[in-house]
Amino acid sequence: MRGAITRLNPDGLHPTPGYHHVTVVEAGRLAFLAGQRPIDPDGHLVGPDNVFAQSDQIARNVLVALAAVGAGPEHVVSAVVYIVSDDEGVLAHVVNHFRQSPIAAAFRSAATLIGVNRLGLPGQLIEVDLTAALPG
């Protein structure tokens, strides 16, 4: 079926905390979202130096971007999360925050978490890059 998404955790690979090692999309259309940043509709950075306020704004932005192409978080097939931190506890805390947000389903597929030194804007602590398989 065109656009069907199958998520797998093959035997022989380590257990995951919610994402899947392999995501297969049957031939169809894909949407590649630009890195979603914690910027409000007026162009202002939300929550400078507050990773949770920034995560919430990114979730709102993701919902708008996905809706623009007729998709939702459940259609996301790949996610990359960039966080300004090398602290494992902070990284895990942010991922858990997303997994309890309105875009939680976006993190069930192939996912990568990367701690970085800096992102594009002063005070920006997080950015999310998503790919979605469009329905229908």
Question: Please, which contacts does 84-89 make with residues 24 or more away whose CB atoms are closer than 8 Å?
Answer: 84/115, 84/116, 84/117, 84/118, 84/119, 84/124, 84/125, 84/126, 85/51, 85/115, 85/125, 86/115, 87/115
Sign of the CA dihedral with 36 first, then 93, 73, and 108 last: positive
In this predicted structure, the answer to whether residue 42 has a pLDDT above a threshold of 90 is yes
C-alpha to C-alpha distance for 136 and 27, rounded to whole angstroms: 11
C-alpha to C-alpha distance for 102 and 34, rounded to whole angstroms: 19
Q: What is the pLDDT of residue 26?
A: 78
Domains of the chain, with CATH numbers? 5-133 (3.30.1330.40)
Q: What is the pLDDT of residue 1?
A: 56
Angstrom distances, CA of residue 131 to CA of 8, 24, 117, 118: 17, 13, 24, 23
**pLDDT, average across residues 37-60:** 95
The average confidence (pLDDT) of the chain is 91
Q: What is the crossing angle of helices 88-99 and 51-68, to 10°?
A: 40
Residue 28: pLDDT band (50, 70, 90) is confident
Query: pLDDT (tens digit, 9 = 90+) per residue, 79-123?
Result: 999 999 999 888 889 989 999 999 999 998 888 999 999 999 999
**pLDDT, average across residues 55-81:** 95
